[in-house]
Amino acid sequence: MKQIKTLLFATALFIGATSFTNAQTKLAHVDTQKLVASMPAMKAAKAEMEKMGKTFEADIKEMMTEYQSKAKVYEAEAATKTNEQNQSRGEELQGMQQSIRQYQTDAQTQLQKKEFDLLKPITDKAKAAILKVGAAQGFNYVLDSSEGSGVIMAAGKDLMTDVQKELGF
């Protein structure tokens, strides 16, 4: 009787160990930064961001040039103007400086919003493709192996080429 119990226990232990090894998690990895950077839509988004940035930069440069030329004129004419006129001109120049700073802040905010609006659909598309490829190949988890992500990859399936195929490039 004791031998039967031992045999049943050993059999149960063997079945449990076999089930455990079969139920182990399958892992894969993909460098999402590299994936997103290689997407054609990303190149178009970068070009649009650069164009918008250059427009803001040109506007700010024009505003600064106008401010500097006015400041030179006001400085040259200061001796011939009354204190009230000089004070009024000084306030005008301060207002121009404040307008330039406000425009710079608004431009930065608009650039950040535009970047988010352009990148969100790209990253969402990449994420959907990663999930689809990972599920199709039977992976439970797909880790981000981008530099600085905290994941160090020694081995494991790299899904980069499969995800790029899924995205059509």
| 29-76 pLDDT, tens digit each | 899 999 999 999 999 999 999 999 999 999 999 999 999 999 999 999
Return the pLDDT at 2. 56
H or E element, residue 30: strand 27-30
Rg (CA), the chain: 32
CA–CA gap between residue 128 and residue 136 (Å, rounded): 12
CB 118 within 8 Å of CB 49: yes
Residue 83's CB is within 10 A of a number of other CB atoms, namely 8
Nearest CA to 163 out of 32, 46, 40, 37 is that of: 32
Return the pLDDT at 6. 53
**In the predicted model, is pLDDT for residue 154 greater than 60?**
no
| Angle, vertex CA 81, rays to CA 77 and CA 87, nearest 5 | 100
Q: What is the DSSP letter of 158?
A: E
Please name each of the domains of the chain with its CATH number.
25-167 (3.30.910)
Return the pLDDT at 162. 85
Q: What is the pLDDT of residues 121-153, one digit of tens each?
A: 999 999 999 989 988 998 888 888 888 776 655
Nearest CA to 141 out of 121, 159, 167, 164 is that of: 159
φ/ψ bin of 81: left (φ > 0), alpha (ψ from -120 to 50), beta (otherwise):
beta
Q: What is the pLDDT of residues 77-93, one digit of tens each?
A: 999 999 999 999 999 99
Average pLDDT, whole number, for the chain?
85
Q: Facing residues of 30 across strands? A: 144
H or E element, residue 144: strand 141-144
